[in-house]
Amino acid sequence: MERTTRPAGTRTKRRAARLRIRAATRRDAATICALIRGLADYEKLSHEVEASIARIRQHGFGPRRYFETLLCFDGPHAVGFALYFFTYSTFLARPTLYLEDLFVVPEVRGRGAGKALLAALARVAVRRGCGRMEWAVLDWNAPAIGFYERLGARLRKDWILTRLTGSPLRRLSRAR
């Protein structure tokens, strides 16, 4: 039996062609929650997760929507997600698409799911008149940092992420 060879890159292109991106719906809340837990496991932050299907439904698909989500599928299986919302750049006087979470399950990394999700987000940002997309990356996540830099993203080391949560947040809310 004669064996044929494929041109270089054909297999990767076929894998990427199987990927499908779509906007999440209320019915996807359990899938989103599972992917959030997968991200937390990867980032060694599972102990911080309070996400629940009910909260995802309420905050992502209720009357006041705080975020939107894109899901990436490889065949019938959800293999990644991008959860985002919009802020506003006073300097640009335009909206900013802020990517809160991007996650691709480890088994399919390197097959184009992350790039497909980011490309879909870029299309959303352009369509909605955004001046930029922003997100944070953990300083130890060298594979993600390299991936983002190859896409042309600039890492801003001159800004420090600042966060109030829990009792300090509640204490400040009571201040006059």
Model confidence band, residue 7 (pLDDT cutoffs 50, 70, 90): very low
Cα 111 to chain centroid, rounded: 16
pTM of the complete model: 0.88
CATH node for 10-173: 3.40.630.30
Tell me the per-residue pLDDT of 77-102, one tens digit each, with 9 for 90 and over.
999 999 999 999 999 999 999 999 99
Taking each helix axis from N to C end, the angle separating 142-151 and 113-127, rounded to the nearest 10 degrees, works out to 50
Task: Tell me, yes or no, if 148 is annotated catalytic.
Answer: yes
Q: Return the residue matching tokens 């599928």.
A: 73
The active-site residue out of 42, 84, 88, 148 is 148
